[in-house]
Chain A
């Protein structure tokens, strides 16, 4: 059972973006460190239990690369992704490209992470921006992908309204 705090939100403000928001009970510098120092990142950015992060490399400067590889220990399944930093403003903003080794969406996406200090807490807002419509439209499954993203947050409302989601 997962407890979802009120500050945790996923939304799709446009048909090219997914936004993930969450408040953290720590000063901004501490949260920024936890998002950018490999020895800290590999301790939490793991998703479900049973996964580890054997590769976590972060060259935190404009033009620097990062590389993540996750492994499900029980099966040996691996999933990798990485990209390049375009903007590094300590400790408030990161812009980086994102590409999965085995991506189902065309091209790269751009992740913008903003850390906003609010007293003793920090509001984190991650925006994943997918490539231009033009680029997407040339890719074979672009239409599907756009539809998926657009339908994404509305799906929840709909599932709730027809009672499928329990």
Chain B
């Protein structure tokens, strides 16, 4: 069972995050803004390849890019990540909250069975 994510925007976010290079770019941007040049070097990729990834990240709302400055630095937009993180957390919470309740139900079933001293009924 799965809890429904809030929006198609969230789908785009997860799709963008599915790629390891894009996650690495985000991790790099978390340490500070960077231009395409600055990103191309450590990733050993061409500028057009990096630009393609940046476009996907921008469309997903995970980064913003400065239109005016010549370097056009990319900046991490933490709000979208936080939304994606909240959805994931909701999924984990759904299951573990349920399982913690199940633990209590199982305890009760075991105790009941023990008291009756009879095999489980089917």
Contact = CB atoms under 8 A, between A and B. Distances in A.
B11 interface: yes
B92 to A, nearest CB: 6
Interface residues of B, number: 50
B79 to A, nearest CB: 10
Contacts of B40: none
Given A144-B12, A165-B85, A30 B27 contact: no
Contacts of B113: 30
Given A34-B105, A45-B102, A98-B1, 18 more contacts: A2-B92, A10-B92, A10-B95, A25-B103, A30-B120, A44-B102, A44-B104, A45-B1, A47-B3, A81-B1, A104-B5, A128-B1, A141-B11, A143-B15, A144-B14, A148-B5, A158-B26, A161-B27
Interface of A: 2-5, 8, 10, 18, 20, 22, 24-27, 29-31, 33-34, 40, 43-49, 79, 81, 90, 98, 100, 102-105, 109, 111, 128, 141, 143-152, 154-156, 158-159, 161-165
Interface of B: 1-5, 8, 10-12, 14-20, 23, 26-27, 30, 76, 78, 81-82, 84-85, 88-89, 91-107, 109-110, 113, 120, 122
Contacts of A2: 92-93, 96-97, 100
A150 B18 contact: yes
Contact of A156 (B8, B19, B82, B88): B88
